[in-house]
């Protein structure tokens, strides 16, 4: 069992696997499809309301979490080692926030002690990618997460 305030008392590198997994609030934003426009300094990342087909739109959880890496070649496992490469993570992401030395938001389940509080962070009106065509992703763009 983990210490309830482990995220305040440990660095990301010191966390156990259980603590690392507990940082994920289940907002599902990392499972949203994104696209890039521009090049170099003008490059811009765009988030959409289009979710990976494995994202349960009701719970915000991956329906195939344990096998997601084998089933979806675009899914990447976030680790302590590769976290610095994930600059695209949503601004509310606990991994990104702690990496940047920032506090978790009040809606994070580790703060609120309520697993449903994350719903405030979830993007509304999501659709699964099987229900749209990649050519129209820009029609589903949302403000930066």
Neighbouring CB atoms inside 10 A of 67's CB total 11
pTM, entire model: 0.84
What's the pLDDT score for residue 145?
Answer: 62
The residues, ordered by sequence, that sit 6+ positions from 65 with a Cβ below 8 Å of its Cβ are none
Would you give the distance in Å from CA 96 to the centre of its chain?
9
Arithmetic mean of pLDDT, 54-68: 88
**Helix, strand or coil, per DSSP, at residue 68:** helix
Residue 1 clears pLDDT 50, i.e. is over it: no
Q: Is the pLDDT of residue 118 over 70?
A: yes
């Amino acid at each position: 069992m983990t210490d309830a305030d482990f995220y305040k008392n440990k660095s990301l590198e010191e966390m156990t696997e259980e603590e690392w997994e507990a940082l994920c609030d289940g907002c599902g934003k990392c499972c949203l499809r994104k696209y890039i426009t521009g090049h170099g300094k003008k490059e811009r990342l765009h988030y959409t309301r289009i979710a990976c087909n494995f994202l349960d739109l009701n719970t915000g959880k991956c329906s195939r979490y344990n096998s997601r890496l084998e089933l979806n070649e675009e899914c990447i496992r976030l680790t302590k080692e590769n976290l610095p490469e994930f600059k695209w993570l949503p601004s509310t992401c606990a991994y990104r926030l702690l990496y940047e030395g920032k506090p978790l938001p009040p809606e994070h389940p580790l703060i609120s002690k309520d697993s449903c509080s994350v719903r405030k962070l979830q993007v509304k009106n999501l659709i699964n990618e099987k229900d749209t065509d990649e050519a129209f992703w820009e029609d589903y763009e949302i403000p930066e997460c």
